[in-house]
Amino acid sequence: MRHATVLRTGLSALLVLGAWTAVGPSTASAAPTDSAELPASAALLSAMQRDLGLTEGQARTRLAEEKAATALEPKAQRAAGSAYGGSWFDPATGKLTVAVTDAAKAGAVRAAGAQTRIVENSAARLDAAMKRIDALSAPDGVASWRVDPATSRVVVNVVDSAQGDNDVRAFVAKARKAGPVTVERTAEAPQTFAAGTVGGDPYYTGNVRCSIGFSVHGGFVTAGHCGRAGQQVRGWDNSYIGNFQGSSFPGDDYAWVNVGSGWWTVPVVLGWGTVSDQLVRGSNEAPIGASICRSGSTTRWHCGRVLAKNETVNYSQGAVHQMTKTSVCAEGGDSGGSFISGDQAQGVTSGGWGNCSSGGETWYQPINEILNRYGLRLHTA
């Protein structure tokens, strides 16, 4: 690559979909003490106002509340012990709510700083039911299933048009035997968001265009359905980047690509020419209910909320487990792109339904699972 294009090439290819919503370079040394001082870029605040219907002040407050809830969640879970039934962020109160099966544990959880709700089933029981349902073979009319801590049930999502399908009914009947299950309807079946080769700032493997997630030391992470181990990867300028070193799909939807041949990794995400490049500072997991944003090579920046965790998504290629569902839209070519909450990496785009004109839902594969699976280290500022 020519020297003049090295920086542009490296950033756009490696970080095109990274945590664009993270901390802006101008605030890298700041130590935030309240919502007004949160390291939020103008682009993040603007996207939250557009997609979540917030004012700038409300967006700043939301970020501060979500940061506190994210830090509190593991402490509250420890306080609940075996009575823990799951947790979620409540935008109405700005606090973390923790479900508990034992009223005697509620006081300890509240003392830790969280709200509580008494529920019937523990997270362990619901997770066990999920595993039993995961072992079933799901027909196309079943979109997904997940643990819902707010209702203390496993929710099975069935496509509207398939409600009367005999195979769907049989699956639901078997699922009900696996544990506490409720059925909800969804408008469409999920699909992955890979796309044919088009222009922009993507990466390519074969004739497929996908989006890069987050830089790790030695490469980047992305979606597994975008390529298989050993396949070559080309950057936005069609130059060779590296190869898929590991890939899993279906079952999981994650992969990682090594970086070489003049390319390198930095904890920065390209701002698409409209905002400053952004920094990534960690990968603390945001709770259900938190606001979250996504970047992709087709639709770029969009925000929404975390709707569910530990959801199994039934794509036509097979089921993918332990996904996180969001209200963020996406389209073909966004696969592999980054989901971020505040300045914390959350995961890589897998698939969903709908589009960014009429809306929809999108799932991502959590980043920490990918890092642990391949022994990778997130590149952070």
State yes or no: pLDDT of 11 exceeds 60. no
> Helices 56-80 and 42-52 sit at what angle, rounded to 10 degrees?
80
Tens of pLDDT, residue by residue over 138-171, are 999 999 999 999 999 999 999 999 999 999 999 9
* Catalytic residue selected from 51, 201, 211, 225: 225
| % of the chain residues with pLDDT over 90 | 71
Residue 32 preceded by cis peptide, ω within 30: no
Assigned token pair, 377: 């280290």
Burial 258-285 (b: 16+ CB within 10 A, else e): bbeeebebbbbbbbbeebebbbbbebbb
Annotated catalytic, 225?
Answer: yes
* Catalytic residue selected from 253, 277, 334, 343: 253
Q: Give the pLDDT of residue 272.
A: 60
Of 186-195, 232-241, 275-284, 352-361, the one with minimum mean pLDDT is 275-284
| % of the chain residues with pLDDT over 70 | 85
* Catalytic residue selected from 122, 152, 247, 335: 335
Residue 102 and residue 135 in contact, taking contact as beta carbons nearer than 8 Å: no
Sign of the torsion formed by the C-alpha atoms of 368, 60, 265 and 209: positive
Q: Give the pLDDT of residue 139.
A: 96
Is the model more confident about 87 or about 199?
87
Q: Which amino acid is at 334?
A: D
What is the distance between the alpha carbons of residues 237 and 259, in angstroms, rounded to a whole number? 15
Tens of pLDDT, residue by residue over 344-360, are 899 999 999 999 999 99
Annotated catalytic, 217?
Answer: no
Annotated catalytic, 247?
Answer: no
